Every structure is written in structure tokens, then in C-alpha cells.
């Protein structure tokens, strides 16, 4: 996965990366939902916002979603194109994951690639956060900071 694709993904879905309450890293939970790894406050990307809105307002139009859920027209168009939402009946296009080429039923990436994208976003966000913290007293041995998130094999 290259950075350009990652950037596009963040842009289209308006992926929230920083907790609005405490400024720590938001971790992807699936289905457009994120949770702050420190204060546990939830946030949503465009997919999550649209999903929540449709759940409460079944049959909502794209215009309503844009106006009431605060999701951009471009994002809605992109999600429709990816058939994330089954609004267009009988549209069975042959889709392949843009990351690994595996067949997918909906969306741009298969679940594994999507997970990896979010891990990369979270990693970049941690690094960014870490850089910003340099010079502060709370920085306790930066050579170890990175390792804490590496899983043992
Ligand atoms: Zn937080
Ligand atoms: Zn894939």
C-alpha cells in the first residue's frame, strides 16, 4: 500500500485520526467506527456517519445524507460507486481489492487490506504525535515508544 492510496483513502472517507477530546490516536473498530485508545471516545468516518444516518432514517437520499449527516457529495458518490450501500439494485459489478487483487463483494479493499490501511494510518498518527511531544517532559525514553505497539511473534 503506497502513501498516495493511503492519503486518498483518508481524504475520501474523512478518516478521523485524532481524538477530539484528548488528542490521542483513534483506533479503527470496523464499519466506519473509531475509538480513542486513551479516553475511549468514539468517532466516525464518512462511512460510519452515513451508516448511522441510514440506520435512523431508512431510505434516506444522498442529498439528505449530505445535508444532515455532514458527509460530502464526493464521498457519497464514491461509496455508491463502491456499492458500499445497496441503493442501486442489481448492480453486480466485478470488483477486485485495490490492495491485493482479491475478489471483493463491496468496497474498494478487502477486509484484510482495509485493516492494514487503518493500522498504517494509526502508526503514522502515533509517529506524528510522538514527534510533537519531543521536548516535553512527558517523553520517557523515545527509543522504546515505538516497540510497545509491536506484537510479539
Ligand atoms: Zn480521547
Ligand atoms: Zn486486499
pLDDT digits (tens, 9 = 90+) for 62-71: 889 999 999 9
* pLDDT over 70 at 85, yes or no: no
Q: What is the mean pLDDT of residues 72-92?
A: 66
Going from the Cα of 1 to the center of ligand 2, the distance in angstroms, rounded, reads 10
Name the least confident of 20-29, 66-75, 141-150. Answer: 141-150
Do residues 85 and 79 make contact, with C-beta atoms less than 8 angstroms apart? yes
Going from the Cα of 90 to the center of ligand 1, the distance in angstroms, rounded, reads 41
- Ligand at minimal distance from the CA of 111 is 2
Report the C-alpha gap between 117 and 123 in whole angstroms: 10
- Report for 49-63, 72-86, 136-150: range of highest mean pLDDT: 49-63
Enumerate residues with CB within 5 Å of ligand 2 (an ion): 97, 99-100, 102, 110, 113
Better-scored residue on pLDDT, 153 or 10? 10
* pLDDT over 80 at 43, yes or no: yes
In degrees rounded to 5, what are phi and psi of residue 137? -65, -25
> How large a percentage of the chain has pLDDT more than 90?
42
Amino acid at each position: 500500500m503506497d502513501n498516495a492510496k493511503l492519503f486518498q483513502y483518508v481524504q475520501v472517507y474523512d478518516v478521523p485520526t485524532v481524538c477530539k477530546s484528548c488528542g490521542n490516536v483513534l483506533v479503527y473498530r470496523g464499519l466506519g467506527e473509531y475509538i480513542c485508545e486513551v479516553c475511549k471516545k468514539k468517532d466516525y468516518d464518512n462511512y460510519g456517519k452515513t451508516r448511522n444516518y441510514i440506520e435512523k432514517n431508512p431510505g434516506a437520499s444522498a442529498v439528505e445524507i449530505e445535508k444532515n449527516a455532514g458527509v460530502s457529495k464526493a464521498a457519497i458518490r464514491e461509496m455508491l460507486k463502491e456499492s458500499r450501500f445497496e441503493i442501486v439494485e442489481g448492480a453486480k459489478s466485478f470488483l477486485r481489492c485495490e490492495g491485493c487483487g482479491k475478489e471483493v463483494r463491496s468496497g474498494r479493499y478487502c477486509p484484510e487490506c482495509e485493516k492494514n490501511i487503518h493500522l498504517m494510518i494509526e502508526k503514522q498518527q502515533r509517529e506524528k504525535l510522538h514527534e510533537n511531544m519531543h521536548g516535553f517532559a512527558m517523553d520517557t525514553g523515545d527509543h522504546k515508544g515505538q516497540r510497545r505497539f509491536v506484537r510479539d511473534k
